[in-house]
Structure 1
Amino acid sequence: MRAFRSRTTYLLGTVVLTGVLLAGCGSGDSSDSAGMSAADAPAMNEAAPQKAEGGGSGTQADTQAKAPDLRVEQRDIIYRGTVTVRVENVDAAAGQAGGIAKTAGGFVSGDNRSSGSGADTATMELRIPAPKFDAAVAQLAKLGTEEQRQISTEDVTEQTIDLDARITVQQARVDSGRKLLAQAKSLNDLVMLEREVATREADLASLQAKKRNLADLTALSTITVTLLDPEADAVVEEGPPGFLSGLGAGWDALLASLRVLLTVLGALLPWLIAFGLPIWGILYAVRRYNRTRRAAHPAPAYAHQPPPAAQPPVSGPPAQQDQQP
């Protein structure tokens, strides 16, 4: 009995000691791993951003290389200006305005001059390089007494970028179509591919024409200068459309229509008198003659009497025949 108890006690002690040793090892391992993680965490956190920066540097550089430059000085802007100046001599001032345009590197694209009733005016359209737009406007304003100035701008950067992308895609389509055309083996394929290539080339030419137009407008600004002599009336800018302007336009249209109608009637009146009166007289005489003739020869009376009404049949019992015995 005592031996059994001693063995049981020995076994229990062995189990308890083994559990204590295992718990100590586990805590030591966990503490070591926790300590290692805590010690390595800063290094790993520092390495992660460096890796991210190193890995994303190429993509970020490529994105910056492909992204368009949209700074103010790199944007495509169309400048338009209108200047009204009152001068002593319109012809001399017009010559000076043309000289300003040529000195700035531009040219005169339109020149409209008029003189009458002692009032001379000139309207000139100048194409000036965009970087010298402001300087040219200032010089034109100094030709005399400036009465009006209006400057407007239009940013077409997005349109230019879109056109560039569309031109690139369309050029690739044209090249692929030409390659397929060179490899055509049958007459039907040749005709179909020629038609497709011609369509693609026409679309590409249209896009390139739009791009050239935008490039011309952005490279050369447009300035419209109006020169007035001291006796000329000032140029009045029309206000925005509204009810009163619409009413005035409708009234002017009505008066113009009445003038046209009266002009047409005045042109037709001699013809109406020359041909209309004789025709009316002939028709009147014919109608009068017909009335007189009908009055002299009245129609017979019986012709106007209505026909007799039909008598309804008399209904009654049939006649009885004598029966012989």
Structure 2
Amino acid sequence: MRARHTWPAALAVAAALALTGCSADSSDDQAATSSAGGAPAAEKAAEPGTADRGGPAAADTAAKAPNLQVDQRSIIYTGSITLRVKDVNQDAARVLAIASGAGGFVGSDKRSSGDTTDAAEATIELRVPADKFQSVVDQIAGLGEEEQRSVNTQDVTEEVLDLGARIASQQARVDSGRRLLAQAKNLEDLVMLESELAKREADLASLQAKQKRLADLTALSTITVVLLDPGAPGAPAGDDEPTFLSGLAAGWDALVASLRVLLTIVGALLPWLIALGLPLLLTLWLIRRLRRTPAHPAPQVAPATYGPPAPPVSAPPASPKE
């Protein structure tokens, strides 16, 4: 009876162990299958086509692409503004203060003080940060009566990117030349490599200078400010119809301008005419004087005559007509 009850228990234990082993094998197979399939999955994720699905590769690819949004583009801003102000010197000082407050500086400052004939005028060139360009122009416009404003932009993003790529390529060529120069074994190779390396370094320096110039133009904008005195001539308010008096005034101005130009040319040529013309005229006068002086003729001796002179021979009388 004890043997009969033992066999069913042993069979149950063996069946349980068999089932446990099968489940372990199946789990191991699944783990192996998943690990084996992980490599192709990773390879597929690394393919270029999978970058569009929003995986990590897509994030890396997007990070390497250049950002060409409006706020990331390289733009050169240049502008000019003409104002009519009450006091040129005081308002010029205010313009300088506005530029200094925006983090800029003065590129040039030309002023003419007014007198009885001319009115005061100032031309100031400012360099201000590009992000403060519009605000500085608006602040300057509030100093007086605005007569003219001009704003120009130049997009040099593609040129900047191309220049950066060329600099990287040229830097690699310079590094390669330096490595080859370090490995030179004879004098001929050394001289040739030094010449080639100097040429590559000169090209690299030229590209870097262009890059620095573009960086300066894009980082700092240029604003030309013209300040006019109330009595200074400016642009006409409207297009007036031409009249006789306006035409006469224009003709007189043209005549005066032409005479000024003519007198300027004569004044410039007069020293040359004196230095070269007087010796030439003196030489011509001497040549004509020598030509007009007659040569002394040789004395003529009359032939000797002996006896009385011969009577003159008279013409025979004319015969009468029949």
TM range (shorter): 0.5 to 0.7
Query: What letter matches 1:97 in structure 2?
Result: V
The CA distance in 1 between the partners of 2:170 and 2:257, in whole Å, is 49
Alignment map for 1:286-305 (pairs within 5 Å): 286-290=290-294
CA distance, structure 1, for counterparts of residue 158 and residue 256 of structure 2: 42
- Partners of 2:120 and 2:127 lie apart in 1 by 23
Q: 1:107 aligns with which of 73, 84, 105?
A: 105
Q: By how many angstroms is 1:58 displaced?
A: 3.9
Equivalence for 1:56: 49
Query: Which stretch of the first structure deviates more once superposed, 57-66 or 197-206?
Result: 57-66
2:66 is paired with a residue whose SS is coil
The aligned counterpart of 1:126 is 126
**3-state DSSP of counterpart to 1:231:** coil
Task: Indicate the SS of the match to 1:215.
Answer: helix
Q: What pairs up with 1:239-258 in 2 under 5 angstroms?
A: 258=262
Superposition RMSD on alpha carbons, in Å? 3.3
Distance 1:282 1:170 in 2: 74
CA distance in 1 between counterparts of 2:46 and 2:173 reads 38
Per the TM alignment, residue 283 of structure 1 is displaced from its structure 2 partner at its CA by 2.8
**Aligned residue for 2:210?**
210
1:284 aligned residue: 288
Query: Distance in 2 between the 1:98 and 1:90 partners?
Result: 12
Cα pair distance change 1:187/1:265, threshold 3 Å = closer
What pairs up with 1:1-325 in 2 under 5 angstroms? 56-58=49-51, 61=58, 63-118=61-116, 119-234=119-234, 258-259=262-263, 262-263=266-267, 266-267=270-271, 279-290=283-294
Please, which runs of 5 or more residues in structure 1 have no aligned partner?
1-50, 237-250, 299-325
- SS of 1:154's equivalent? strand
Give the alignment's TM-score, normalised by structure 1.
Answer: 0.63
For the structure 1 residues 70 and 252, does the alpha-carbon distance in structure 2 shift closer, same or farther, using more than 3 Å as the test?
farther
Contact map agreement 2:84 2:147 (CA 8 A) in 1: yes
Deviation readout 1:184-207 (Å, 9 max, x if unpaired): 111111111111111111111111
Farther-moved stretch of structure 1 (167-176 vs 264-273): 264-273
Going from structure 1 to structure 2, the CA distance change for 1:121 and 1:192 (only over 3 Å counts) comes to same
Contact 2:114/2:121 (8 A) holds in 1 = no
After TM superposition, the score normalised by the length of structure 2 is: 0.63
1:288 to 1:297, Cα distance in 2 relative to 1, 3 A: farther
Cα distance, 1:222 vs structure 2: 0.4
Q: Distance in 2 between matches of 1:71 and 1:260?
A: 57
Amino acid at match of 1:283: I
Opposite residue 262 of structure 1, the aligned amino acid is V
1:270 deviation in Å? 5.7
Q: 1:165 to 1:53 in 2, by over 3 A?
A: closer
Unaligned regions of 5+ residues in structure 2, if any?
A: 1-43, 237-254, 301-322
Give me the whole-angstrom Cα distance separating, in 1, the residues matched to 2:260 and 2:161. Answer: 48
CA distance 1:286–1:264, change in 2 (3 Å): farther
Q: Deviations over 1:94-124 (max 9, x none)?
A: 1110110011011111111112435111111
* 1:276 Cα deviation after fit: 5.8
What percentage of aligned pairs have identical amino acids? 54
What is the letter of the counterpart of residue 156 of structure 1?
A: V
Count residues in correspondence: 232
Distance in 2 between residues matched to 1:111 and 1:153, nearest whole Å = 23
C-alpha separation in 2, matches of 1:137 and 1:297: 102
Amino acid at match of 1:226: V
1:180 offset after TM fit, Å?
0.7
The match for 1:8 is none
Q: Tell me how far apart the structure 2 counterparts of residues 125 and 258 of structure 1 sit (CA, whole Å).
A: 35
Q: Rate the CA distance shift 1:276–1:120 in 2: closer, same or farther, 3 A.
A: same
* Aligned equivalents of 1:274, 1:177: Cα separation in 2: 68
